[in-house]
Amino acid sequence: SGAAAPPRAPAVRQAAPSSAQTAVDLNLVLAIDASGSVDDDRFELQKQGYVKAFFTDRILNAIKAGNEQAIAVTMVQWTGPTLQVVMVPWMIIRDVQSARQFGAAVGASTRQIYGGGTSISGVIDFSANLLRTSPFRGARKVIDISGDGSNNLGRPVEIARDEAVRQGIRINGLPILSLENDLDLYYRQNVIGGPGAFVVTARNYDVFADAILRKLVAEISQKDPAPEAPKYAGK
């Protein structure tokens, strides 16, 4: 029946030409809240926080510390169970120019959905699919969800989280405590998942940019996020 197939070569760091996939240290989905509780000013504060972060040296230094010295990032806005829009498609970041290109793309993107409930489960499912179809081959897969409310539409968030974790995806959270004072606890118990998953809290929208930078550096470098002011004294 012809010659036997050659033995499969062991996995190596280069991508197979047929797949045309570039290897990166991290495939990262940034998912920002566009639900009814987020007015245009708050939406813009979320966006500008990310713009500022990708123009800092700290992000690039974290990327340069990785094996591939590159990450791939996409940004999504989300509300209800089927209301998610890609704001910035997958882009690879490996140097100052590409980091600033991504930041500029975020800054130039527009809000396309308003209201429709808060379906964290919906955006987890949507983001998991983006990771499955990413044109880049990431050593790690992370969904990064920021929002100011708990899941109130769609399937239970814990089910979506557990399915994503089984696919090797880590979910980190950036709860904004403007409306729900204990949203950080909700995120810890119900939203984040996977080895090393963490929450970085923004007490309000005005400090969102600082929280984003701490979180992004931690996600890229795989180190614990920089300490934040404790919410609960004596712990």
Q: Of all residues in the chain, what percent are helix, strand and coil, respectively (each to 5)?
A: 35, 25, 40
Distance CA 103, CA 109 (A): 10
Q: What local confidence, expressed as pLDDT, does residue 164 receive?
A: 98
Helix 40-54 and helix 208-221: axis angle, to 10°? 40
Give the amino acid at 153. L
pLDDT, tens digit (0-9, with 9 covering 90-100), for 22-63: 999 999 999 999 999 999 999 998 999 999 999 999 999 999
Strand, helix or coil at 99?
A: helix
Please classify residue 113 by burial: count the beta carbons closer than 10 Å to its beta carbon, then call 0-12 exposed, 13-18 middle and 19+ buried. middle
What is the DSSP secondary structure assignment for residue 88, as one 8-state letter? E
Paired with 147 in beta bridges are 175
Q: What local confidence, expressed as pLDDT, does residue 119 receive?
A: 97
Q: Phi/psi zone of residue 227: left (φ > 0), alpha (ψ -120 to 50 degrees), beta?
A: beta
Residues (pLDDT < 50) of the chain are: 1, 9-19, 229-235
